[in-house]
Amino acid sequence: MTDHPARMAAEEPEKMTPWDMFNMQVPTDHMPEKGVPARVAKAVVNSEAWTDARPMMNLSSFVTTFTEPEAEEIVHEHFLKNYIDHDMYPQLFAMEGRMVRWLHHLWNGPADVSPYGTATVGSSEACMLAGLAHKWNWRQAREKAGKDATRPNMVTGGNVQIVWKKFLRYFDVEPRIAPLKPGNYRLTTEHLERLVDENTIAVVAIAGQTFTGEDDDIQEIHDWLDAYEKRTGISIPMHIDGASGAFVNPFCYPDYKWDFRLPRVQSINASGHKFGLVPPGLGWVVFRDDTVFNKDLIFYVNYLGGEMPTATLNFSRNAFQIAYQYYTFIRLGFEGYARIMTKTVENAVHLRDLLVQSGYFTIMNETQRIPVVALTLKPEYTNFNEFDISAKVRERGWVISAYSMPPDAQAINSLRVVVRPHLNANTLGILAGDIIQACQWLEKHGGNATPPSLHDAYKSSPAKC
């Protein structure tokens, strides 16, 4: 009896054709006993993912979903290499070093220093490394001055991405988080006097925040810290979380000072896999100069042949993203990135205008720097909410985030669309039409989505990236 596909898979896998996979039962609680032909395995895997979102229509995400065929070939050429093995792949290591220098230059680092930085798995790893460097520097300075070094804190806004809350908890740094308020979702100087003190390892300000796409008041915070140092003698560095903005601001707003032009900015992170235009798996952290990254955080290992420095949280990682980023920098150059980012921001403004003109929404981001559209329903619409709209447009395949804002703006819900470079004005017109139709349907029939509790919202929304 070998006619049943599941039995065939177990007993005579070589006789299976891809047709047989349609009845195949994949065990849920143990690994299959035997294998199946490659084409059958492929069909099983892909069919199980049919109901997942289409990445191109997932506008909840910041992450790149568009590639060129040549870039795909780069992936194939390099994806079987372990990036950490610098002895075996020294040229990939050299590309990384070159790109760190390019980014330091792009972010207006001083010319007379040795830049230091590294590729990471994403901005999360990059933020953790920057946070650690600031913690180490603060502790050493305190110990040198004979002062207590046991109670480090970090100051951020309530709009920070979840990675900073992880950093603070995982690495035992006291969170000093400035609350938001309805109508202002940025870190400003308003609460700094109360939050900053001699134990502050750094102030983290965001360029291109997760919730509304806005930048924190970077220059104002910088100037406030200058005045604070004059008053108290305490000098506090800044880290800029440029996960999204660091690949938009230099190209769209060259005169805007958010980067190393501000002397207090000692480190910047960016996601290569967001507006850096690389598929998931790449971040960057760059320090103002090589003294900021504390030498005590570097380990030397010789397991892979030769002595090798390592200063990332992850050891093994795929090499293809590094080769891919090198490809995008060479392929597009400054001019290409400027063209793409300028057009993408224009497209975001187009979508924003269409949605605001519909009469349903108020825009949440006062400034439009990165291509994110963050809206909230006008208060007169009481029989449906942003969560209903997000669920309704999902019927058309679109994924857009609805979430409640962090404290003290938690009464406000947001509907957020991340406009990425693969969308043009036509596709955005279709999206706007679908959102407006969803609102019209919901206005007539009512919605029933309950916003998640604050705790649930925290578990899900800020991590969306």
Binding residues with ligand PLP: total (CB under 6 A)? 16
At 269, list the tokens.
């992170």
Q: 411, 424, 428, 440: which is closest to 373 by C-alpha?
A: 428
- Looking at the Cβ atoms of 62 and 387, the one nearer to ligand PLP is 62
Q: 80, 115, 75, 79: which is closest to 98 by C-alpha?
A: 115
Which of 5, 21, 57, 62 binds ligand PLP (CB under 6 A)? It is 62
328 SS3 class = helix
Binding flag, residue 163, ligand PLP (CB under 6 A) = yes
Binding flag, residue 124, ligand PLP (CB under 6 A) = yes
Q: Binding segment for ligand PLP among 123-131, 301-309, 317-325, 414-422 (CB under 6 A)?
A: 123-131
- Looking at the Cβ atoms of 385 and 414, the one nearer to ligand PLP is 414
374 SS3 class = strand
- Looking at the Cβ atoms of 247 and 387, the one nearer to ligand PLP is 247
Q: Are strands 174-178 and 153-157 parallel, antiparallel or unpaired?
A: parallel
Binding flag, residue 318, ligand PLP (CB under 6 A) = no
Residue nearest to ligand PLP (CB): 465
Q: 272, 237, 214: which is closest to 62 by C-alpha?
A: 272
CA distance 190 to 194: 9
Which of 244, 312, 325, 401 binds ligand PLP (CB under 6 A)? It is 244
Binding flag, residue 161, ligand PLP (CB under 6 A) = yes
CA angle 103, 347, 403 (to 5 degrees): 85
Cα–Cα distance list, 310 to 9, 74, 296, 316, 441 (Å): 45, 25, 11, 11, 56
Binding flag, residue 192, ligand PLP (CB under 6 A) = no
Binding flag, residue 168, ligand PLP (CB under 6 A) = no
Binding flag, residue 137, ligand PLP (CB under 6 A) = no
Alpha-helical runs (H) found in 24-78? 38-48, 69-78
Binding flag, residue 209, ligand PLP (CB under 6 A) = yes
Binding flag, residue 206, ligand PLP (CB under 6 A) = yes
Query: How many Cα neighbours within 13 Å face the side chain of 28?
Result: 1
Residues between 271 and 300 with contacts to ligand PLP, criterion CB under 6 A: 271, 283
Binding flag, residue 376, ligand PLP (CB under 6 A) = no
Q: 207, 208, 210, 165: which is closest to 60 by C-alpha?
A: 210
Binding flag, residue 465, ligand PLP (CB under 6 A) = yes
Binding flag, residue 268, ligand PLP (CB under 6 A) = no
Give the containing element (helix H, strand E) for 212. Answer: none
238 SS3 class = strand
Q: Which residue is associated with the tokens 């006008």? A: 378
CB 238 within 8 A of CB 225: yes
Which of 115, 117, 122, 237 binds ligand PLP (CB under 6 A)? It is 122
- Looking at the Cβ atoms of 119 and 225, the one nearer to ligand PLP is 119
- Looking at the Cβ atoms of 206 and 345, the one nearer to ligand PLP is 206
Q: Binding segment for ligand PLP among 12-20, 122-130, 136-144, 149-157 (CB under 6 A)?
A: 122-130
- Looking at the Cβ atoms of 16 and 177, the one nearer to ligand PLP is 177
Binding flag, residue 64, ligand PLP (CB under 6 A) = no
390: left (phi over 0), alpha (psi -120 to 50) or beta: alpha
- Looking at the Cβ atoms of 199 and 271, the one nearer to ligand PLP is 271
Which of 64, 123, 266, 365 binds ligand PLP (CB under 6 A)? It is 123
CB 127 within 8 A of CB 241: yes
Cα–Cα distance list, 390 to 126, 403, 451, 453 (Å): 31, 10, 11, 17
Q: Residues in the site for ligand PLP, rule: CB under 6 A?
A: 62, 122-124, 127, 161, 163, 206, 209-210, 241, 243-244, 271, 283, 465
